[in-house]
């Protein structure tokens, strides 16, 4: 056992991770969340939000490539892209890898956290905040969408989980919010969201989001990837109105990666298609879900990880 400062991260009421904390680089509390950025031997810099690991220097590319590129590649020429959340700047970075992108709007409510990322986390954003195609907006995303008349080819929802009954983020996971998102998609548009961890007894974030999005979009597809620093499989959902965003004609996916000159560390065409192949039990969980999150009865998680509505 190595001696020093350790942090216990509670994953569920029954399971926890013991993480060793090295030098603290930044720590504080914004009006919206607490943050801790520290160094570790295993994963380099580690960002924690509200006492949970958000991303790490050495494997953040896995999560961010998985979140962004299946949706971006499903669109033949994404020009206008919206990122909701994504304070570290890495989601924005991946979006900007696509040369067709003329404008990437990032809407995040937490200016202070973005400034922490800008100063202390250049490995994540890699200058994306200062790209001339970037438009940074600090606002409540739902209010901003309601007031905006802009439409987007791809919308990427990189949001924190709705933990806590009073957490306003739960209104970014409801049927009414997805109806708003659908109205902001240009013809042929695609939306993708992070969709929670996939543990045997802690998968309902994913299934409720899938069930709720099916109320709005004709085509809703789940996929998954393993995130090393989370020590678990993580879910994502991509949706569209006019076509199945997970079905590609033979050779199209690889051709688009090549044509766009995408330098990907984790994904290739074969792996992207494989991420959409779900095991039998996960398909059964999704099919059996009946809960639809609404503004009147929004879905949220208790601090202990229990799924609730109301």
Q: Is the dihedral of CA 54, 68, 293, 31 positive or negative?
A: positive
Choice among 59, 110, 153, 158 that is catalytic: 158
Say how many CA atoms lie within 13 Å of 247 toward its Cβ. 6
Alpha-carbon span 169 to 105, nearest angstrom: 19
Residues in the chain: 310
Which residue, 238, 185, 193, is CA-closest to 85? 193
Alpha-carbon span 157 to 258, nearest angstrom: 26
Distance separating the N- and C-terminal Cα atoms of the chain: 44
Own/partner pairs for 52-58, CB < 8 Å, 24+ apart?
A: 52/9, 53/9, 53/19, 53/229, 53/230, 54/88, 54/160, 55/88, 55/90, 55/124, 55/229, 56/229, 57/121, 57/123, 57/124, 58/229
Q: Is 110 a catalytic residue?
A: no
Which residue, 136, 131, 161, is CA-closest to 83? 136
Say how many CA atoms lie within 13 Å of 7 toward its Cβ. 20
Residues involved in catalysis: 158
């Amino acid at each position: 056992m190595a001696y020093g400062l350790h942090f216990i991260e509670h994953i569920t009421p029954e399971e926890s991770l013991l993480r060793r904390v090295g030098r603290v680089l930044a720590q504080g509390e914004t009006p919206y969340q607490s943050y801790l950025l520290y160094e570790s031997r295993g994963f380099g810099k580690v960002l924690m939000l509200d006492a949970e690991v958000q991303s790490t220097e050495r494997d953040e590319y896995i999560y961010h490539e998985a979140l962004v590129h299946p949706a971006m590649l499903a669109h033949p020429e994404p020009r206008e892209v919206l990122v909701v959340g994504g304070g570290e700047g890495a989601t924005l970075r991946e979006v900007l890898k696509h040369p067709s992108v003329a404008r990437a709007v990032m809407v995040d409510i937490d200016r202070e956290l973005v400034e922490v990322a800008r100063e202390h986390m250049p490995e994540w954003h890699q200058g994306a905040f200062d790209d001339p195609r970037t438009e940074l907006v600090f606002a409540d995303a739902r209010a901003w969408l309601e007031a905006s008349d802009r439409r987007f080819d791809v919308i990427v929802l990189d949001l924190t989980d709705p933990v806590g009954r009073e957490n306003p983020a739960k209104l970014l996971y409801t049927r009414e919010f997805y109806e708003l998102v659908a109205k902001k998609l240009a013809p042929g548009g695609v939306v993708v969201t992070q969709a929670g961890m996939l543990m045997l007894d802690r998968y309902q974030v994913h299934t409720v989001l899938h069930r709720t999005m099916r109320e709005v979009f004709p085509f809703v597809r789940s996929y998954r990837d393993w995130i090393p620093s989370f020590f678990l499989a993580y879910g994502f959902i991509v949706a569209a109105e006019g076509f199945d965003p997970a079905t590609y004609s033979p050779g199209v996916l690889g051709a688009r990666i090549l044509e766009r000159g995408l330098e990907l560390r984790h994904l290739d065409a074969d792996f992207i298609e494989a991420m959409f192949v779900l095991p039998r039990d996960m398909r059964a969980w999704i099919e059996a879900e009946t809960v639809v999150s609404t503004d009147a009865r929004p879905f949220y998680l208790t601090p202990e990880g229990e799924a609730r509505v109301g």
